[in-house]
Amino acid sequence: MKNKPLIVVKARKKEHAAPHGGAWKVAYADFVTALMAFFLVMWLVGQDKAVRQAVAAYFRDPGAFAEASAASLLEGGGGLHDKASPAAQRALMDQQALERVANEIEAAIRQMPALAALRDQIEIRLTAEGLRIELQETASSCFFDTGSAHMTAQAEELFGTIGRELCQLPNGVLLEGHTDSRQYTREGYSNWELATDRANAVRRVMEKNGLREQQLLEVRGYADKQLRNPGDPFDARNRRVSILVRRETSSAAKAPPASAPTERDRPAPGALPEAGGSAR
């Protein structure tokens, strides 16, 4: 027994295949995300200016778009997968209506030879507040006589065209007048009066061309307190009129404004100031 060799048996454990690594999943997810971003950019490039501005407005203030939808979920108790609420549908229809009017105003201006020269002075953009139409003067092209609220014939045609388009909407409208920093030389009359009178002159032309009085929310005069080009207070572009078409979903558009002009506050056509000051 002692001379018998010692036999050692080694038991081999059965080895299982190594599990697959998950690194490929991360790489695939990154690829799909990049691909989605690429197609989103390509889609945006192919859209018109109004759509791009609407998308930009959403990302600047998404709450303005989601407010109606969130409120409807709380009131109705519906699930996220339910059909869009009436409030959300109204917000979407309002957005589409503003986009349509923006395109129609641009098209109308392009089709009128008398207004073609003013295209570079008109800026139309969709914001979180609504549709903003800004009309700026230049050194060689003005909407009003110097130091006066007397409108040129070309400007009257332009504001009349805008009024005919906006009267098709239920949205409220705000008018804002701005001047540059040149001071008015006539005693008792300043850039405050000039800016307000010019905005009122625009109101009269737009109402004459179909804008309903109940659409008008406010007529504002800012003088030179909101300069377009703060670096040059005397820049002609600071002399401008802004037209803001409020979104219907905005509570401010539905509430009657405290500072809305009344007939007593509105100067008669014959009461407009004549040229003679140095302000523009």
Task: Give tens-digit pLDDT for 168-182.
Answer: 888 899 999 999 998
| Res 273: pLDDT | 40
Least confident range of 191-195, 207-211, 225-229, 272-276: 272-276
In a domain, 79, yes or no: no
| Res 224: pLDDT | 92
What domain range is 118 assigned to?
Answer: 26-73+85-271
Per-residue confidence band for 84, with pLDDT thresholds at 50, 70 and 90: low
In a domain, 10, yes or no: no
In a domain, 150, yes or no: yes
Q: For the domain that residue 150 is a member of, what is the CATH number?
A: 3.30.1330.60
| Res 188: pLDDT | 82
In a domain, 194, yes or no: yes
| Res 33: pLDDT | 93
Tokens of 235: 């820049």
In a domain, 17, yes or no: no
In a domain, 6, yes or no: no
**What is the arithmetic mean of pLDDT over 174-193?**
88
pLDDT at residue 136 above 90? yes
In a domain, 234, yes or no: yes
Which residues make Cβ contacts (< 8 Å) with residue 196, sequence separation at least 6? Answer: 177, 219, 220, 221
Least confident range of 37-41, 225-229, 259-263: 259-263
Average pLDDT, the chain: 77
Task: Give tens-digit pLDDT for 162-171.
Answer: 999 889 888 8
| Res 176: pLDDT | 95
Cα–Cα dist 160/9, whole Å: 104
pTM: 0.59
What is the domain count for the chain?
Answer: 1
In a domain, 11, yes or no: no
| Res 90: pLDDT | 76
